[in-house]
Structure 1
Amino acid sequence: MTRSLDAFLLTSSWSDAAPDQDSELVFWWQTPVGPLRQQLRQPAVCFIERRHQQEAERMARALGWPVSCRPVALATFDQQAVTACYMPASYSYRWRDLLLNQQIPCREVDVRITDRYLMERFVYGAAVIHYDAAGVSETSVSVAVPNNADAYQTLRGGRLFPGSYRPTLQWLSLDIETNIPRQGEALKLYSVGLVTSQHRCVLLVEQHGAGAATATDPVELVRLADEVAVLHALNDRMAARDPDVILGWNLIQFDLNVLQQKYHEHDIPIRWGRDGSRLQVRRQRNMPDRIIVNMAGRLALDGIELLRAASYQFESFSLNAVSEQLLGDSKLLTGSHRGQDIQRLYQTDLGAFTAYNLQDCDLVWRIFEKLKLLEFAIERSLMTGLALDRMGGSVAAFENLYLPRLHRAGYIAPNLGEGYRAEKSPGGYVMESTPGLFEHVLVLDFKSLYPSIIRTFKIDPMGLIEGLATDATLALPNADWVPGFFGGRFHQQQHILPELIRGLGEHREHAKQQGNKPLSQAIKIIMASCYGVLGSEGCRFHDTRLSASITKRSHEIIQTSSDWISAQGYEVIYGDTDSVFVCLRAAVTDSAADRIGQQLATDLNRWWAENLQQRFGIQSYLEMEYETHYQRFFMPSIRGAETGSKKRYAGLISDADGLPKMVFKGLEAVRSDWTPLARQFQQQLYRKIFLQQPYQHWVQQQLRDLLDGHSDSLLSYRKRLRQPLAMYQRQVPPHARAAMKLDHWRQQNGLMPRYQQGRGWISYRITANGPEPLDDQQDNDQHDGLVYPTAAPDYQHYIDKQLRPIAAAIFQFTGDDVDDLLGTQGSLFGP
């Protein structure tokens, strides 16, 4: 009897049980009736040109390899007929290398066998599994804990069809606490905090003497004799709680990395797989200091990486900083002596120590819950087929969507580097700006410009191949092709990507109407990535005729739109990628400005529709929107020049309640590499100028406060080291000098150096002794409690390099003299 079951994909893997058999594919699904392990048999496949088939078969026979070759109704982009080569997956790369030695290119060999199995069935994240009930069996993993929940079903065989199941995933938030080892000391595990929706637990390495400490625990505190006992208990708890996803903050690179080291140190297997299998750890090839973990039927999701994948921006991604900004809550211990405080609580007050450990677990889940990060990850998976823990992956997402449609259109994909690249595609268009202080500036913005260009001008990898095959002598607008750039032409009807964009856009509008913000955000990111993928040399479809036909067309659109607006009697003072900034040069009310902006957008859209129909015979999907009315607007000039800057401006708008609100783009106020002093100074100074409030005396007071030491807490720079310290030789920037000083001081105090490998954040300030570190480490979860002693600040540096440039940029348009207001002569302040 055939049945069906909704399912959502958790993990996938493959193995070759025997060298002469198809590979075994294993998919772990979450279903309405619990976890399911599905086993399937499938060969791997790659493609060669049919003219090489006999030679390929001869080589396979000579080596005794289990490779079969069959002609298929597909072609390369060069219109060569294709043969498919089937084999166990473990042979794929050896087969490719063997063929390359004979100058026979092998295509699509790098498509992972499990990904191909799903995408060719248009299964993205969710599936409907059709199966024979006799093929399902119940499996349970035995662990040394009561009420074992780690049971799952196993299905051998079954057929997959596209689905839309959105599961409620079982989560577990994990956080560890360790000591801060001094030089020569070993890293010690103190505890592991575990929080689920129904249970809160701390697995603690017993500290001698701590039993007498006060510990009124509202949670389960499990005191264990040593690290070995904690690691075994953690294995058992993972099986008993049976989460689908493990959550944490810097989870993979710190918590799981430390735990993996500890399991290895004590020769204990990390049996966190749903079937009792080991957690697998591997290093990224291009970033060996970063690790990736895999567990059968479970996922590890790091909050920092998922926030970035969802396009959230924070000045600092530390747990404390993000939780304070989003939740108005913080870690229970903060500040420069947090490391000492943790160790003191561990030794004297287990109640406070466990509360600290669990608070970190709680904050992580609350951030996930507030921003609906799990829902976002699920929706992204449903749209692209990417696993929940696959961060980035724009190229993989694009290929998941594109490849099966390409195959059904009769083509196989090219290999990396086979596309046209003789000419380089430009970036987005940025217009020379008109610097100055303005009143009533309107911003008109093309909605999703690059996706709209793709859809309007039929830009598509397959459409390019089909377009180049059309008759180029036919005159526009009646030809079957649309012109691109660098000699590209795109077929009017034969294409894939424009229809994908159309479907994604309609899906997003529906998500907006339904109030499904995670889905809307996921689709927005996918649509925006289409150009980036085509412009990336890491994509097999990279061809500069594609990317240039998007960016150069956008240049034409912005320039032509600016000319049209100017012809209507308005002044365009700036243009940037998909926006134009229009100065009305007239005293108008806010409502009148809004009417002008809306009318300009409507008329311009109508003009584009008529223009493109007449020129190319195509329908326009370009959509200009009226976005913002800046009541006052400032465009700075480039320092030391009269020309206007780019991507840097400030403006005053009215918020939803009609109150004045400042907007800064690209200026010091929103740049983390400027000091808090400079950022606050710019925000307040520009606000006063825009609101026409007195500001000269206020500027002088800011200078007094700085020189009197009242602003010392605002003088820190914060910058990331991008390479190991030893790589800084001839020119050593200030932040690297500060890191060198700090590591030297740490070694003198018996502490491990922090920055020798680089790639970390350093806070510092400028003193009479040059850049010196501020060893606050507010953004790290661990700290040794020692603070580097810094000299007095160099106040003149902050006047000249922080305050003066900000003031001078706008004073040249207000008529103020920066030396009068920011001079340091004693006569400035009077008695």
Structure 2
Amino acid sequence: MTRQFTGCLLSRQWRDVAGGVAIDLWFATAEEPLCAHVTGEQSVFFLSADQWPQAEVLLAGERGFTSSEPGLRDFSRRPVRALYFPAHRQAREAARRLLEAGLEPLEADLNPADRYLMERFITGAATLEGTVERAGGHLVMRSPRLRPADYRPALRIASIDIETAMAGLELYSIAVHGTGPGGAEERRVFLRGPGTGQAEVQAFPTDREVLTAFLTWLAAFDPDVITGWNVINFDLRFLQRLADRLGVPLKLGRDGRPPHWRPLDDDGERHALQVTGRLVIDGPEWLRAAFYRFESFALDNVAKELLGEGKLLHGPERGEEIGRLFREDRERLVDYNLRDCELVSWILEKTGLIQFCLARSNLTGLAADRSGGSVAAFDFLYLPRLHRRGFVAPVAASTAPDAPGGFVLDSRPGLYRHVLVLDFKSLYPSIIRTFNIDPLGLVLAADPALPEGASVPGFRGVRFAREGHLLPDLIERLWAQRDAAKAADDAPLSQAIKIIMNAFYGVLGSPGCRFFDPRLATSITLRGHEILNRTRDRIEAAGHTVIYGDTDSVFVWIEEAEDDPAAEAVGRELERTLNAWWRETLAAEFSVESRLELEFETHYRRFLMPTVRGSEKGSKKRYAGLVADDNGDDRLVFKGLENVRSDWTRLARQVQEELYGRIFRDEPWQDWLRAEVAAVRAGERDDQLVYRKRLRRRLDDYQRNVPPHVQAARLAV
């Protein structure tokens, strides 16, 4: 019987089998998890037709190998040949041999699952149609018909946390906090040794039994998401090592398979992993990906900032205390272990982080539990559209010259009243849209047969075709989606779109991107320099003073303003007139429609632009100001100063905030500051003079340059 489901893509796996490449796509649906099983796929890459005769000789005798002329061209406008293999590993080995022979296999790095999805424009969700059967306890649809969908369901989530001895592979307990779409909760602690009588505790005499009970619970609860705090490289990595020692398969996958681990560094300290049919969301990693900022990403600190409550144990002696609790106060250990799980669940709910992951996946095609990956996301969106325009992608550049970065205007140091910030909304995406900056557009404009009027000038002697481009249209579609997300108050989707749009410039400026060309990135950044300079000149021609500018913002001193309403009226007028001027100017000079959008963003009632230490020159990316919040109350804003730096003491930040606040409000400050200095000298502020700085390497790795925090850490061990 043919059935139809709409599902959210949880995982994708491929494997070589007899008869071709098999792909498993696991979806969360409104009913239950569903595995779409695809068979008989081939692995494909491309080669310029003029390299085909040599390749044909090199690949003679390859089992099951075929080729065809797909009617596509490379970026040198040469026809290409498509090379098909029944196994992906066979295709990779063939591509390696061709590369060693001096040939250029194109798009040979794409894995079959990603290519299958992208060519069908399936990103994070799909509607599936086909015959369904039950296998291994789950629904399976074989060789389904797929089409794109927009679907972000509420998922079943399991937050896990383990407690261990400080050394070795000694497991104390595993806590889980499960939440389902209906709001039902499960709280469970699998404890080694005697029980405690607590309802949520299951006690077992050995590590093996604790681990087995946890895996049995996981299979029964069947979460879509496994989460925790450093859950991949601590909790799950520890459990994997323990399972290996015990000879117990760590069956985390929906199909009963162990996870697939991939090292991320040479010393094996950090790993990525993939679990069949489930997402694995690491709390701090994804908060960083969503641009959350905290003084520390320790669970206790993040929980206190977001939730107003923290861990039941904290501090430098926590490890020893956990060991003592395991031996002497097991009920309190259970409470502590379980609270850590709950804090992670509550943080994810508070921040909407799971929905952010799903929204980002639905936009980019990346796996929903893969953070980073801007280059891969660009490929996923760009390649299928490129193929439909008749081209295949080039090989990524190994080395390339740098493109200039964002432009920073010299600052005028001083203490001001009424400083306005005018900000270009998403400047680099706006430049791409306005000037048609695009990898394919660059190729099309290089065609000698194309009239000059059919292209727009860039920098370093390049031009971009007015028609046939891809990236400007892609950004325009994302822009419209973000406006719709804002209108619908869909914060996770809006934030995800903003991040991916702003990442496009960085992708084009990265030699790791297959479309990298320094002329692309330079045509964006130098156009940004020009726009910022001309905007400053226009503002100053109107009689105002620009005291600073950075990439997409200008800071304007409204010297004549007598009060807040007068200054803000000037800001609104500058926004209106500058946008109108840019529309007229770009139409006259380039015959393009301006997509630039300048916004009056902030009014600083008082503003300080400091000098560089030891000079009279104004600083850059460092300032402070006083603004009005939504209730009209004063709020201090710091940028780049000690107040916002985690490697300064709490006292330095507190003193700076109080001092600037007093000065901005014209309150007396000299006597207060003298009293603070006296208190420091008397030892009354010692508890606030603690420096916090992360060690990014092992202590022994610091040899030549041994900074103060490393010296302190060596004294402490």
Q: TM-score, normalised by structure 1?
A: 0.84
Give the corresponding residue for 2:110.
Answer: 111
| Among candidates 215, 220, 234, match of residue 240 of structure 1 | 220
Q: Distance in 2 between matches of 1:204 and 1:467?
A: 67
| Among candidates 565, 569, 581, match of residue 539 of structure 2 | 565
Q: Distance in 2 between matches of 1:736 and 1:336?
A: 17
Are residues 1:428 and 2:426 paired? no
Shift of 1:295: 1.7
| Among candidates 466, 472, 481, match of residue 444 of structure 2 | 466
Q: Distance in 1 between matches of 2:65 and 2:615?
A: 67
Give the corresponding residue for 1:83.
Answer: 81
C-alpha spacing 1:437/1:386, structure 2 compared with 1 (3 Å): same
Give the corresponding residue for 1:3.
Answer: 3
Q: Distance in 1 between matches of 2:518 and 2:254?
A: 45
Amino acid at match of 1:55: Q
Cα distance per residue 1:431-479 (max 9 Å; x no partner): 10000111111110001101000000100000111112256884xxxx1
| Among candidates 340, 346, 356, match of residue 376 of structure 1 | 356
Contact preservation (8 Å) 1:271, 1:279: yes
Amino acid at match of 1:731: N
Give the corresponding residue for 1:442.
Answer: 420
Are residues 1:199 and 2:195 paired? no
Contact preservation (8 Å) 1:413, 1:541: yes
Cα distance per residue 1:393-449 (max 9 Å; x no partner): 111111110000011011100101189x4x531110001000011111111000110
Contact preservation (8 Å) 2:365, 2:380: yes
Amino acid at match of 1:446: F
Contact preservation (8 Å) 1:53, 1:69: no
Amino acid at match of 1:26: D
Give the corresponding residue for 2:157.
Answer: 171
Contact preservation (8 Å) 2:398, 2:512: no
Contact preservation (8 Å) 1:127, 1:163: yes
Percent of aligned positions with the same letter in both sequences? Answer: 46
Q: Distance in 1 between matches of 2:77 and 2:420?
A: 50
Give the corresponding residue for 1:819.
Answer: none
SS in 2 for 1:332: coil
Cα distance per residue 1:768-787 (max 9 Å; x no partner): xxxxxxxxxxxxxxxxxxxx
Amino acid at match of 1:30: A
SS in 2 for 1:424: coil
Q: Distance in 1 between matches of 2:320 and 2:398?
A: 57
Give the corresponding residue for 2:259.
Answer: 279
Give the corresponding residue for 2:50.
Answer: 51
| Among candidates 330, 336, 340, match of residue 320 of structure 2 | 340
Q: Distance in 1 between matches of 2:506 and 2:288?
A: 17
Task: Compare CA radii of gyration and give the structure with the larger one.
Answer: 1
Amino acid at match of 1:204: L
C-alpha spacing 1:418/1:458, structure 2 compared with 1 (3 Å): farther
Q: After the TM superposition, which residues 92-491 of structure 1 pair with which residues of structure 2 at under 5 Å, given as runs? A: 92-131=91-130, 133=131, 136-140=132-136, 151-181=137-167, 186-197=168-179, 198-207=185-194, 215=196, 217=198, 219-284=199-264, 288-417=268-397, 421=400, 423-469=401-447, 474=452, 479-491=453-465
Q: Distance in 2 between matches of 1:337 and 1:49?
A: 63
SS in 2 for 1:196: strand
Contact preservation (8 Å) 2:265, 2:271: no
Q: After the TM superposition, which residues 549-588 of structure 1 pair with which residues of structure 2 at under 5 Å, given as runs? A: 549-588=523-562
Contact preservation (8 Å) 1:57, 1:69: no
Contact preservation (8 Å) 1:284, 1:292: yes
Q: Distance in 1 between matches of 2:560 and 2:585?
A: 30
Q: Distance in 2 between matches of 1:324 and 1:389?
A: 25
Shift of 1:296: 1.4
Contact preservation (8 Å) 2:12, 2:23: yes
Contact preservation (8 Å) 1:535, 1:547: yes
Q: Distance in 1 between matches of 2:576 and 2:561?
A: 23
Give the corresponding residue for 2:22.
Answer: 24
Shift of 1:280: 2.3
Are residues 1:631 and 2:613 paired? no
> Which sits farther off after the overlay, 465-474 or 715-724?
465-474
SS in 2 for 1:187: coil
Q: Distance in 2 between matches of 1:517 and 1:12?
A: 27
Contact preservation (8 Å) 1:632, 1:653: yes
Q: After the TM superposition, which residues 737-776 of structure 1 pair with which residues of structure 2 at under 5 Å, given as runs? A: 737-743=711-717
SS in 2 for 1:199: strand
Cα distance per residue 1:194-229 (max 9 Å; x no partner): 11123111000005xxx6xxx452x42101011011
Contact preservation (8 Å) 1:190, 1:204: yes
Contact preservation (8 Å) 1:508, 1:523: yes
Are residues 1:722 and 2:696 paired? yes
Shift of 1:641: 1.4
Give the corresponding residue for 2:182.
Answer: none
Amino acid at match of 2:679: D
> Which sits farther off after the overlay, 618-627 or 35-44?
35-44
Q: Which stretches in structure 2 are left out of the alignment for 5+ residues?
A: 180-184
Shift of 1:651: 0.6
Q: Distance in 1 between matches of 2:706 and 2:513?
A: 36
SS in 2 for 1:252: helix
Contact preservation (8 Å) 1:39, 1:156: yes
- RMSD, aligned CA: 1.5
Contact preservation (8 Å) 1:60, 1:66: no
Shift of 1:681: 1.1
Contact preservation (8 Å) 2:561, 2:567: no
